[in-house]
């Protein structure tokens, strides 16, 4: 009786381990396929959209990365907006950082074309995206750097007044801080 | 003299040092320098109150933006008895052109005893914030220098591979063990003795009783490693205790074999052959380990 039970349990464990093997093999294959798609998108080659839609959010992030490389900003924006609240905090921070880059790059292009009215809201959106990315992951140095770029591009309106600040200097600073753009050289 | 004494005692009574609501107060702050745009700054406030005095958590600053450049990301209060530990985590969003002194604003916490309430002010704390980039922007072919997009991460397949290896190992081990139990490996002929004997017996009739008995004798001899006789059965059971459960059947077999080969006028019936086949079947189950 005990031997029969032992045989049954051995067969059951064998069946379970074979099922686990098939499941793990399918998982490894799926990961391999997804990684291939991501590598393809990063290298600048488009993939079939169905594979991206049915896949993980990382695939959409990769597709937005691809669109941005090709300067297809609207498609990159719509792709990123679908995954902005997906995944863990690290992933959300990454998606928001890339969103900030998307806005900032467009803002810079508008400034180059002297379309200030177009550039201002884009720079504001970029700052907002970077702030959100840093609130989720304050160790993201790239977001810190690019936020500083965006803040220099569109400085905050209210300056911090310290007791030792000279009022005349303050007045001068306020004048140029309202104009978006970077200082091109030292006086 | 009396007047002076009353005055001194009155002053001591009004000093309030005995009725101070806070017995211990400390603000633990990190280094006051070396911060950059986007950094988080933690501050810990320890307040120990006199018994009966409680901290009004509603008087603490709320999570969210404090001003345009400062956010309060997290505030937690831990209470153990009369000791309050307030942990604040600020985040700075300011892009200075040069190293700049900024100040975390102070606030007042309310301590209450019954209907009375008294405020304890938390002092402001100053620190310096440094720029991350030069004043004159660095130019690249694309324009102003920017940090590039963060590429999507490649999925890690370590866990799936571990699962694959583990399940494969378990399956292989169990298969090998079952193969051993079912004698599927070459060189395990001792475990297939009765399997082969059973196969040979299957086509025999009662007319082939001599052959049938020989087949089973050969099988038992092979299992024993040498010819086995009735009197040696006890030794055989000691070496192969699993066969003791069919001792009655084995005893019948040896008796029947003796009578068949050495007695005169033995009449064979079909039932005898069936009993031999049953015995062989039971031996097979024992050698397979399923009985």
Ordered by start, the domain boundaries in chain A are 15-71, 84-156
What are B55-67's pLDDT values in tens digits? 988 889 999 999 9
How far from chain centre, in Å, is Cα B201? 54
Instruction: Please report whether residue B7 resides in a domain.
Output: no
How far from chain centre, in Å, is Cα A35? 18
Q: Return the structure tokens found at B105.
A: 């604003």
8 Å CB contact of A39 and B154: yes
* Mean pLDDT of the B121-147 span: 85
pLDDT for residue B14 is more than 70 = no
Does A8 touch chain B if contact means CB atoms closer than 8 Å? Answer: no
Interface of B with A in 158-177 (CB under 8 A): 160-161, 163-164, 166-168, 170-171, 174-175, 177
How far from chain centre, in Å, is Cα B90? 35
Residue with tokens 């702050």, as numbered in its chain: B29
What are B79-114's pLDDT values in tens digits? 998 899 999 999 999 999 899 999 999 999 998 888
Q: Return the structure tokens found at B13.
A: 């009574």
Instruction: Please report whether residue B11 resides in a domain.
Output: no
The answer to whether residues B250 and B275 belong to one domain is yes
Q: What is the CATH number of the domain that holds B76?
A: 2.60.40
Least CB–CB distance from B157: residue in A28, A101, A138 = A28
Q: Return the structure tokens found at B19.
A: 């009725």
Instruction: Please report whether residue B8 resides in a domain.
Output: no
Q: Residue A61 and residue A104: Cα distance in Å, rounded?
A: 18
The answer to whether residues B31 and B69 belong to one domain is yes
Residue A95, pLDDT score: 94
Alpha helices in B113-267 (DSSP H): 158-181, 193-202, 209-224, 233-239, 247-262
CATH architecture of A84-156: Alpha Horseshoe (1.25)
Interface of A with B in 22-81 (CB under 8 A): 23-25, 27-28, 31-32, 34-35, 38-39, 41-42, 56, 58-59, 61-62, 65, 68
Task: For residue B171, list chain A residues with Cβ-Cβ distance below 8 A.
Answer: 14, 17-18, 21
The answer to whether residues B165 and B199 belong to one domain is no
Task: For residue B175, list chain A residues with Cβ-Cβ distance below 8 A.
Answer: 14
8 Å CB contact of B167 and A18: yes
What are B198-215's pLDDT values in tens digits? 888 888 888 888 899 999
Q: Residue A161 and residue B107: Cα distance in Å, rounded?
A: 19
For testing contact with chain A, the best of B150, B156, B178 (most A CBs within 10 A): B150
Number of structural domains found in chain B: 3
Instruction: Please report whether residue B72 resides in a domain.
Output: yes
Least CB–CB distance from B155: residue in A34, A142, A186 = A34
Residue A5, pLDDT score: 82
DSSP state of A98: H
Residue A184, pLDDT score: 55
Q: Residue B134 and residue B145: Cα distance in Å, rounded?
A: 11
Does B154 touch chain A if contact means CB atoms closer than 8 Å? Answer: yes
pLDDT for residue A4 is more than 90 = no
What are B221-262's pLDDT values in tens digits? 988 888 999 899 999 999 888 899 999 999 999 999 998 888
Return the SS3 of B33.
coil
* Mean pLDDT of the A64-85 span: 91
Least CB–CB distance from B168: residue in A21, A149, A156 = A21
Residue with tokens 């039971």, as numbered in its chain: B282
Residue B266, pLDDT score: 80
Interface of A with B in 103-142 (CB under 8 A): 104-105, 108, 112, 130-131, 134-135, 138, 140-142
Tell me which residue range forms the domain holding B167: 160-185
Strands B70-80 and B83-92: antiparallel
Instruction: Please report whether residue B105 resides in a domain.
Output: yes
Determine contact, residues A138/B40, Cβ cutoff 8 Å: yes
Higher pLDDT, B182 or A136: A136
Q: What letters, b where the CB count within 10 A reaches 16 and e where it falls short, cover B145-160?
A: ebbebbebeebebeeb
Mean pLDDT over each residue of chain B, to the nearest integer? 86
Does A159 touch chain B if contact means CB atoms closer than 8 Å? Answer: no
The answer to whether residues B180 and B256 belong to one domain is no
Task: For residue A14, list chain B residues with Cβ-Cβ distance below 8 A.
Answer: 171, 174-175, 178
Answer positive or negative: Cα dihedral of B138, B142, B143, B148.
negative
Can you say whether residue B143 is alpha, beta or left, with left for phi > 0 and alpha for psi between -120 and 50 degrees? Answer: left
Residue A50, pLDDT score: 75
Count of residues making up chain B:
291
Q: Is the ipTM of this complex over 0.90?
A: no
Residue B89 CB coordination number (10 Å):
16
Q: Confidence band (pLDDT; 50, 70, 90) for A172?
A: very low
Q: Return the structure tokens found at B77.
A: 């209060």
8 Å CB contact of A149 and B153: no
Residue A115, pLDDT score: 85
Residue of B nearest to A142 (CA): B147
Beta bridge partners of A124: none
Does B140 touch chain A if contact means CB atoms closer than 8 Å? Answer: no
Residue B13, pLDDT score: 45
**Domain C-terminal end among B134, B151, B171:** B134
Residue of A nearest to B170 (CA): A17
Determine contact, residues B165/A81, Cβ cutoff 8 Å: no
Phi, psi of A53 (to 5 degrees): -60, -45
Mean pLDDT over each residue of chain A, to the nearest integer? 83
Residue A160, pLDDT score: 53
% of chain B exceeding 70 in pLDDT: 89
Residue B189, pLDDT score: 62
Q: In terms of Cα–Cα distance, which of B110, B193, B165 is closest to A28?
A: B165
The answer to whether residues B198 and B179 belong to one domain is no
Q: Confidence band (pLDDT; 50, 70, 90) for A169?
A: very low
Interface of B with A in 70-99 (CB under 8 A): 71, 73, 91, 93-95
């Amino acid at each position: 009786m005990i031997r029969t039970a032992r045989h049954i349990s051995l067969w059951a464990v064998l069946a379970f381990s074979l099922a686990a093997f098939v499941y793990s093999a399918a998982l490894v294959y799926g990961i391999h396929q997804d990684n291939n798609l991501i590598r393809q998108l990063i290298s600048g080659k488009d993939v079939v959209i169905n594979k991206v839609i049915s896949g993980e959010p990382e695939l959409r992030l990769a597709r937005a990365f691809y669109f941005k490389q090709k300067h297809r900003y609207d498609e990159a924006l719509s792709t990123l907006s679908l995954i902005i609240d997906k995944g863990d905090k690290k992933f959300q921070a990454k998606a928001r950082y890339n969103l900030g880059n998307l806005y900032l790059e467009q803002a810079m292009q508008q400034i180059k074309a002297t379309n200030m009215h177009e550039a201002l809201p884009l720079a504001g959106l970029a700052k907002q995206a970077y702030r959100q990315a840093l609130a989720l992951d304050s160790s993201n140095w790239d977001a810190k750097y690019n936020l500083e770029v965006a803040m220099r591009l569109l400085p905050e309106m209210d300056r911090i007044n310290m007791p030792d600040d000279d009022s005349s200097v303050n007045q001068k600073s306020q004048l140029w801080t309202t104009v978006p753009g970077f200082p091109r050289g030292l006086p | 003299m009396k007047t002076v004494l009353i005055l001194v005692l009155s002053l001591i009574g009004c000093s309030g040092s005995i009725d101070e609501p806070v017995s211990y107060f400390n603000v633990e702050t990190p280094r006051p320098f070396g911060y950059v745009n986007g950094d988080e700054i933690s501050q810990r406030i320890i307040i120990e109150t006199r018994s009966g005095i409680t901290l009004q958590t509603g008087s603490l600053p709320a999570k969210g933006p404090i001003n345009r450049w400062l956010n309060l990301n997290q505030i937690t209060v831990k209470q153990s008895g009369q000791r309050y530990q307030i942990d604040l985590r600020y985040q700075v969003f300011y892009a200075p052109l040069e190293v700049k002194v900024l100040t975390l604003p102070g606030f007042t916490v309310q301590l209450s005893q019954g209907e009375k309430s008294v405020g304890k002010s938390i002092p402001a704390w100053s620190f310096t914030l440094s720029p991350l980039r030069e004043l004159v922007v660095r130019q690249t072919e694309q324009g102003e220098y920017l940090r590039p997009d963060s590429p999507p991460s490649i999925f890690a397949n370590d866990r799936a591979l571990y699962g694959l290896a583990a399940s494969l190992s378990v399956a292989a081990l169990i298969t090998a063990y079952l193969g051993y139990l079912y004698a599927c490996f070459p060189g395990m002929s001792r475990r297939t003795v009765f399997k082969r004997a059973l196969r040979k017996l299957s086509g025999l009739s009662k007319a082939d009783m001599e052959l049938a008995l020989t087949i089973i004798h050969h099988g038992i001899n092979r299992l024993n490693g040498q010819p086995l006789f009735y009197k040696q059965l006890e030794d055989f059971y000691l070496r192969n205790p699993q066969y003791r459960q069919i001792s009655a059947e084995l005893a019948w077999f040896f008796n029947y074999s003796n009578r068949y080969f050495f007695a005169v006028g033995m009449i064979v019936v079909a039932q005898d052959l069936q009993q031999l086949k049953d015995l062989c079947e039971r031996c097979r189950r024992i050698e397979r380990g399923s009985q």
